């Protein structure tokens, strides 16, 4: 085969890799050359087996012509490539397009693995000077050292600040996401195979098995439709988003926090980040962002909350067995011993799957007894969410489940305290600490769902209420009149409307959404975002609707200023809100504001919007 002027023979052995001409910016010994060559070689094998030698040769010829044109910019090569492509019939054109799409995906995967290899090499050498190429986690310690050395912050100041800050990572809804989850998973397995193939300690047998696995995954990806044939539902979006938790985020969070611990230790802080310090939390717009999406209904919001709750419980259930087998110690403090004795005497398990295992836990393994009870409650928590999601009702009593994260943490904290008291702090700071950090980060809901709705929808509901009360049209009132009336209602306790309130379909959607918020556990939700916010009354209206729909733990209300005029007016809007005593007491010194860039970019141009 030929690329960039080199003639290369196709080789089948994994040890005889193709050597392709790498781009100028890649050094001759760069692993990208080998990764790219191997993936391309395996793909061409598959193409030959599936479509024959002719189509394989055509793909190869086009690949060579494209590579030669890229390296020489010779227009004759481009013309020749055009002639080959226009000579193809419809069927071969489809295979050709799909082949090049596949090869582009494989080239990207090769580059990702090569970047990871380069980063690992730098870490092994201790070379972190090149900030642009060092992995993010390696910069933690460098950042701390700069804070100490350049900004003259003490290690204790860094530690105290770290414990009191939060990064909220929000998964937004993207119904137009082009790559299917099936393909993402296959690409992940291809990356893993490629990484393992180049490990230093790999045996010839392992190498052969990995090569076969690589071939299978590439062929499976080639035969997987890249385009969804039906539009994904909001529930599909949620499941796709949750797959990232299962595959990376779930185990990545405790791993990251351990790296933070190590970086702190290396600047002189010999204390771990507390497991309940809110360094990272996760939110989502999937199933909550109804702004402009008519398919996000109150029922969808309810479903995605229950789905996330079920997934969270499932992740905990799958992990707590490992923790139970690890904590086999018999020494414990008196507090844990008494709790274990009580559970062993009085607990009556009614879940067949667990009865036999529970009987097998001897009384001299107190940690397993405590964690066995936790596991049973997690099982019931998962089953209750599953039944509610499927049928709207559940036969699992709520008192057999975890309803708050505090209930979940309490027995785990008891185990942690007991281990530390008995001189087993290193054991406590192992898998148990990781589990505590996961519970503190993800809670029972996995992510907090943000609700987003357009300000005019709230105005329509309030307008209908004022007409129902025969006091005029809220929509026609001045901003000052609106604020005065809304504040008067917020300070009072009288309900504003009953079941006979005339409602359009859009109004019912708004009110039913608030009722879903009131019915589900409060830890399911994050912020209530008002898109196209323009005035203080937009915020006060949402506060009033939360109260009217009996939301026991009101969501924080976040105005989203988007158009140029609204962005300019935003400081005055917030100043007015902060001058209202009722509102100032409501927010308790904290407030969140969102600044839009999409609509403002259309309205004012990208430069003005960015400014």
**pLDDT bracket for residue 134 (50, 70, 90):** very low
Q: What span, in angstroms and rounded, lies between the C-alpha atoms of 320 and 312? A: 12
CB 471 within 8 A of CB 528: no
pLDDT at 127: 54
Using one digit for the tens of pLDDT, what is the confidence trace for 164-205? 999 999 988 665 555 677 787 888 888 888 888 877 778 889
Residues whose CB is less than 8 angstroms from the CB of residue 35 and which lie 6 or more positions away in sequence, other chains included: 110, 111, 113, 114, 194, 198
Q: What span, in angstroms and rounded, lies between the C-alpha atoms of 429 and 420? A: 9
Sort strands 6-7 and 2-3 into parallel, antiparallel or unpaired.
antiparallel
Mean pLDDT of 534-538: 97
pLDDT at 131: 44
With 70 as the cut, is the pLDDT of residue 418 above it? yes
Q: What span, in angstroms and rounded, lies between the C-alpha atoms of 126 and 331? A: 41
Which pair of tokens denotes residue 129?
A: 């000077």
Q: Which of 295-304, 342-351, 478-487, 561-570 has the highest mean pLDDT?
A: 478-487
pLDDT at 174: 61
Write the DSSP string, 123-184.
Answer: HHHT----TTTS-GGGHHHHHHHHHHHTS---HHHHHHHHHT--EEEEE---TT--S-HHHH
CA atoms within 13 A on the CB side of 446: 27
The single residue of 246, 255, 568, 602 carrying the catalytic annotation is 602
CB 445 within 8 A of CB 521: yes
Using one digit for the tens of pLDDT, what is the confidence trace for 421-463? 999 999 999 999 999 999 999 999 999 999 999 999 999 999 9
pLDDT at 396: 94
**pLDDT bracket for residue 23 (50, 70, 90):** very low
pLDDT at 27: 46
Is the pLDDT higher at 287 or at 345?
Answer: 287
pLDDT at 593: 95
CB 486 within 8 A of CB 540: yes
Using one digit for the tens of pLDDT, what is the confidence trace for 546-597? 999 999 999 999 999 988 889 889 999 999 999 999 999 999 999 999 988 7
Catalytic residue status for 187: no
SS3 for 7?
A: strand
With 80 as the cut, is the pLDDT of residue 234 above it? no
**pLDDT bracket for residue 360 (50, 70, 90):** low
CB 312 within 8 A of CB 341: no
Q: CA angle 200-204-208, nearest 5°? A: 110
pLDDT at 361: 63
Using one digit for the tens of pLDDT, what is the confidence trace for 423-434? 999 999 999 999
Catalytic residue status for 174: yes
Express the helix, strand and coil content of the chain in percent, nearest 5 each.
Answer: 65, 5, 30
pLDDT at 24: 38
Mean pLDDT of 148-152: 90
The neighbouring-strand residues paired with 281 are 168
The single residue of 174, 223, 255, 584 carrying the catalytic annotation is 174
CA atoms within 13 A on the CB side of 256: 16
Is the pLDDT higher at 96 or at 381?
Answer: 381
CB 183 within 8 A of CB 226: yes
pLDDT at 308: 93
Cα-Cα-Cα-Cα dihedral sign, residues 182, 185, 187, 190: negative
Write the DSSP string, 64-100.
Answer: HHHHHHHHH--HHHHHHHHHHHHTS-HHHHHHHHHHH
Is the pLDDT higher at 217 or at 13?
Answer: 217
Is the pLDDT higher at 544 or at 14?
Answer: 544
With 70 as the cut, is the pLDDT of residue 136 above it? no
CATH topology of domain 234-446: de novo design (two linked rop proteins) (1.20.1440)
pLDDT at 1: 36
Using one digit for the tens of pLDDT, what is the confidence trace for 497-512? 888 899 999 999 999 9
As annotated, the residues of the chain forming the CATH 1.20.1440.90 domain(s) are 234-446
pLDDT at 14: 35
pLDDT at 346: 72
Q: Which of 56-65, 197-206, 335-344, 432-441 has the highest mean pLDDT?
A: 432-441
**pLDDT bracket for residue 126 (50, 70, 90):** low
With 70 as the cut, is the pLDDT of residue 380 above it? yes
**Whole-number average pLDDT of the chain:** 85
Is the pLDDT higher at 21 or at 517?
Answer: 517
The model's pTM: 0.80
**Percent share of the chain, pLDDT over 70:** 88
SS3 for 454?
A: strand
């Amino acid at each position: 085969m030929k690329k960039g002027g080199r003639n290369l023979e196709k080789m089948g052995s994994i040890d005889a890799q193709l050597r392709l001409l790498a781009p100028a910016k890649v050094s001759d010994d760069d692993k990208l050359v080998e990764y790219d060559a191997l993936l391309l070689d395996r793909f061409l094998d598959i193409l030959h087996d599936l479509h024959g030698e002719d189509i394989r040769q055509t793909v190869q010829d086009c690949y060579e012509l494209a590579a030669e044109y890229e390296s020489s910019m010779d227009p004759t090569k481009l013309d020749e490539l055009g002639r080959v492509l226009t000579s193809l019939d419809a069927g071969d054109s489809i295979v050709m397009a799909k082949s090049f799409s596949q090869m582009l995906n494989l080239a990207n995967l090769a580059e990702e693995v090569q970047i990871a290899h380069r980063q690992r090499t730098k870490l092994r050498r201790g070379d972190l000077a090149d900030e642009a190429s060092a992995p993010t986690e390696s910069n933690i310690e460098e950042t701390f050292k700069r804070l100490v050395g350049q900004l003259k912050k003490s290690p204790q100041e860094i530690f105290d600040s770290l414990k009191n800050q939060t990064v909220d990572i929000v998964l937004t809804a993207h119904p137009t996401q082009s790559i299917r989850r099936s393909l993402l998973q296959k690409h992940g397995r291809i990356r893993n195979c490629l990484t393992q193939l180049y490990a230093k300690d790999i045996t010839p047998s392992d190498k052969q098995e990995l090569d076969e696995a690589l071939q299978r995954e590439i062929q499976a990806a080639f035969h997987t439709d890249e385009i969804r044939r039906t539009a994904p539902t909001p529930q599909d979006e949620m499941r796709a988003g949750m797959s990232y938790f299962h595959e990376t985020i779930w185990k990545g969070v405790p791993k990251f926090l351990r790296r933070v611990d190590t970086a702190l230790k290396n600047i002189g802080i010999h204390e771990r980040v507390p497991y309940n310090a809110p360094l990272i939390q996760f939110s989502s717009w999937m199933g909550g962002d109804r702004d402009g999406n008519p398919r996000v209904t109150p029922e969808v919001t309810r479903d995605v909350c229950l789905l996330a709750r079920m997934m969270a419980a499932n992740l905990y259930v799958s992990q707590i067995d490992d923790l139970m087998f690890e904590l086999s110690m018999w020494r414990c403090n008196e507090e844990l011993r008494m709790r274990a004795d009580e559970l062993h005497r009085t607990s009556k398990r009614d879940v067949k799957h667990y009865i036999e295992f529970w009987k097998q836990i001897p009384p001299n393994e107190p940690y397993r007894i405590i964690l066995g009870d936790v596991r049973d409650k997690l099982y019931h928590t998962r089953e209750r969410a599953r039944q509610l999601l499927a049928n709207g009702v559940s036969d699992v009593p709520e008192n057999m489940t975890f309803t708050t994260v505090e209930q979940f943490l309490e027995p785990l904290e008891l185990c942690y305290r007991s281990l530390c008291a008995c001189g087993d702090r290193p054991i406590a700071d192992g898998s148990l600490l990781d589990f505590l950090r996961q519970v503190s980060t993800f809670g029972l809901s996995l992510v907090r769902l943000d609700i987003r709705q357009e300000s005019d929808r709230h105005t329509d509901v309030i307008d209908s209420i004022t007409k129902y009360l025969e006091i005029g049209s809220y929509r026609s009132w001045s901003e000052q009149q609106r604020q005065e009336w809304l504040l008067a209602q917020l300070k009072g306790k009288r309900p504003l409307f009953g079941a006979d309130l005339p409602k359009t379909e859009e109004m019912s959607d708004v009110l039913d959404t608030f009722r879903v918020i009131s019915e589900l556990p409060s830890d399911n939700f994050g912020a209530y975002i008002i898109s196209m916010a323009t005035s203080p009354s937009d915020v006060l209206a949402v506060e009033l609707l939360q109260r009217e729909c009996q939301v026991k733990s009101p969501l924080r209300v976040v105005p989203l200023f988007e158009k140029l005029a609204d962005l300019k007016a935003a400081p005055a809007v917030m100043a007015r809100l902060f001058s209202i005593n009722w509102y100032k007491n409501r927010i308790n010194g904290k407030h969140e504001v969102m600044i839009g860039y999409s609509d403002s970019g259309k309205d004012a141009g990208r430069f003005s919007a960015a400014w």
